[in-house]
Structure 1
């Protein structure tokens, strides 16, 4: 099936007849889950992103491994969280509409609601995805963008998914909520070029704060990706990037490129957040179309983590 055909079969309100009110069911269940663990909001946003970049948005990341070879076993996915939350929502939906709503669509709704419950934009998601039945660790290693990739590298990873440079710089702002482990950026503090040096683009005072928490060899501690407003979905991320206070190399590099840097600076001045919110909604919808299975392709799994023969 061509990508254009797949996109055409996604639609707003896909379940209006087959499972009326399913989006309200998902949001209600997530509201309770987030009240118990606010950190899962960032987790579910990341979960959707990591799923879509490998085989498309088909919930293949949810599949449990039989012998440690599934996507979730790849290094970049070892700190991904939210599997249990998706399963809990799926169980609630199954009780209402058995074998109707895909795990892939629930993941897309959950990412949207994670943004909404973080004071971000409220937008509609297209639905009609079906679940894939293949999950390969090696594909995760080759398809997920590296956390230290420069703008050229990151743009290439996104282009393979038919996403633009603008989508890349917009979707990177998902890092306005959530945290990163020290190991994700310790090279920038202690061994940037392999000679025991520090990344000169890091704000020195900020680097000193990070080093106080992230001692060499610290694999447990985390730092907020947006130190300004770590639990609020806003333009604090772009302000951090502009101030050379981004944790990840992939984020830090955005300010140095003429095109992405111009967008970062524009967003730091977007005081009412209208432009950022509108752009983020569009780019999330674009990402949600990547490699989708629709129609009779794929399947609807009753449990997201278990293969169906």
Structure 2
């Protein structure tokens, strides 16, 4: 599962370059003194988890993304509300997976280093390891985040990029988080892992313009396959892989799917219709571009991991991640 020696050297060089640009309040090896070996502890625990359920890898990657885009990477997605008004209660988050995994790892970390390592940092490590154990790149994670103590459903509804957005809309959502159009198209590559429930894309198959038609930009046989799989607009139970080429391997299959008109979500398909993001999709359609994608993905994941980071005395270190806030 480890990268080839050539690929490893490329990724190591990219990580080393990034280290020189790291934010002063986040740093590599933040826990070297306060909780030595914590990243190995997290990785070992996840290795066992993934052996039992490989599908949770994509869930943890998506989990980190949904957390970072609302109030920053502060584990506020883990917080609970008796009134059903927390981030996790928002419709885009109802299919998230990973709560129990993060909580179980947090318990192991607490046993080793009480009240030292944040839930937010564990989530960042878990996302990185989900990629690594899916044959993707390995990279250092900046740590030193602290946990937030506010979680509001309305912020999740307003801040998460829409699944049916075009590039203009999506770029605005990313720009608010200090992420670029390149970050958008690169982080979209995370859809090489995971699935989507039929209602997230079924309008493209059954009612694209409101008259019972199909999105004409979708590859015909792919559209027929989705039609047969979902069987209607509201089939919540059925899921479809986001990557039509390889479903559990972190590779270029997503871009190959999008390039061929098999982007599942409207936001996926939109990438090939914009001149700038479409050019990136075209380059990534070539198997020789894997190392480039890996290096780009490392940069964009670190950029995303810096969104709204709470450090120093801002925020808290929670003993458990999923506490109630009302």
Q: Give the 5 Å matches for 1:1-309.
A: 7-216=23-232, 217-271=234-288, 273-307=290-324
Distance (whole Å) between structure 2 residues aligned to residue 114 and residue 246 of structure 1: 22
Gaps of 5+ in 1: 1-5
Q: Is residue 150–residue 253 contact of structure 1 (8 Å, CA) maintained in 2?
A: yes
Segments of 5+ residues of structure 2 without an aligned counterpart are: 1-21
Alpha-carbon distance between aligned partners in 1 of 2:110 and 2:305, rounded to the nearest angstrom: 22
Distance 1:255 1:308 in 2: 42
CA distance in 1, matches of 2:153, 2:114: 30
Partner residue in 1 for 2:18: none
> Is the CA contact (8 Å cut-off) linking 1:171 and 1:284 kept in structure 2?
yes
Whether the 8 Å contact between 1:10 and 1:126 is mirrored in structure 2 is yes
Aligned residues of 2:77 and 2:88 also touching (Cα < 8 A)? yes
Shift of 1:271: 2.2
Give the distance between the partners of 2:170 and 2:148, measured in 1 at CA. Answer: 26
Aligned residues: 304
CA distance in 1: counterparts of 2:88 and 2:325, whole angstroms: 18
Could you give the per-residue CA deviations for residues 15-44 of structure 1, whole angstroms, max 9, x where no partner exists? 000000000000000001111111100000
**SS of alignment partner, residue 240 of structure 2:** strand
Taking structure 1 as the reference length, the TM-score comes to 0.97
Over the residues paired in the alignment, what is the CA RMSD in angstroms?
A: 1.2
Cα distance in 2 between the residues matched to 1:133 and 1:33: 28
1:234-266 per-position Cα deviation (integer Å, ceiling 9, x unaligned): 000000000000110000010010000000011
Shift of 1:218: 1.5
SS in structure 2 at match of 1:180: strand
Residue of structure 2 equivalent to 1:3: none
Contact 2:202 2:230 in 1 (8 A): yes
Secondary structure, aligned partner of 1:158: helix
Conserved 8 A contact 1:270-1:276: no
User: Which one is further off, 209-218 or 80-89?
Assistant: 209-218
**TM-score, with normalisation over the residues of structure 2?**
0.92
Question: Stretches of 4+ moved more than 3 A in 1?
Answer: none
Between the aligned partners of 2:113 and 2:324, the Cα distance in structure 1 is 20
Give 1:308 shift. 7.8
| Secondary structure of 1:196's aligned partner | coil
Whether contact under 8 Å (1:133, 1:307) holds in the other structure is no
Structure 2 CA distance for aligned equivalents of residues 153 and 207 of structure 1: 24
